Amino acid sequence: MKVDFTRWLPAIAKDSYRKTALSVAGVAALGGLALAPTAAAAPVTSGPHQGAVAAIDLATGKAATSVRQDEQPVESGLTTGSATGKPPAGKPSRAQLIPHGIEGAQSRVPLDDAQLANARAIVDAAKKTGVGDRGAVIGIATSLQESKLYNLGHLGAYNDHDSQGLFQQRPSSGWGTPDQITDPEYAATAFFTALKNVGGWQDLPLTAAAQTVQVSAFPYAYAQWEEQAADIVQQMW
């Protein structure tokens, strides 16, 4: 999709702390990373997901630091964890967080304060709804794919139908009003409530569980975020 990067779109990224205007360039880049079910899915790569890094840079005006999978994301302060080492005291183990193993190559993005606050809201909702740490991993990975953990408002002409929020939920599909689905706590609770209605979701691979709730045109794209989602959950749980 061609985009005039010199124009500004009055699109709003919402979170509990502020409303941030996104440039057309940022919106276009986010859209190319599977912003919503009908958008182009992010390619699964073996290294840093450059498209995601660029989207964050363009959307926030920050120089997002590129990270390899074995490095610590600078902005977030979240370490990558260890697949074989012992978890920190009181934290869920890698086996609990990723019981079926990683599916395919993984992507990773650095996280800013807004993304971390949204991740925290998802983890808190996972605890309240009873889906546990594994449910939290599914929720975080889903939001990473749908919005890169940004609580996006309506993007005008660049919006996919009426999709909004962390999970790109649609009011027309019964997820709630625009105000509700752009409230991180409500959106995460709605996602987990739907997940709990998926029979045997605990035994499904992440991408299958997420896809059953989201009904995305790119069902396998969720898998690429499982490792980073597990790292986030392990340290926030």
| Both structure tokens of 78 | 């979240």
Taking only the tens place, the pLDDT of each residue in 140-187 is: 999 999 999 999 988 776 666 888 999 999 999 999 999 999 999 999
pLDDT, position 119 = 98
Q: Where are the domains of the chain?
A: 8-236
pLDDT tens sequence across 51-106: 434 444 444 444 433 333 333 343 444 544 444 457 777 899 999 999 999 989 99
pLDDT of residue 122: 98
- pLDDT tens-digit readout, 3-34: 332 222 233 456 443 343 333 333 333 444 33
Task: Indicate the pTM of the whole model.
Answer: 0.69
For residue 156 the two structure tokens come to 């005008």
Res 158: pLDDT: 64
> Residue 13's pLDDT is what?
56
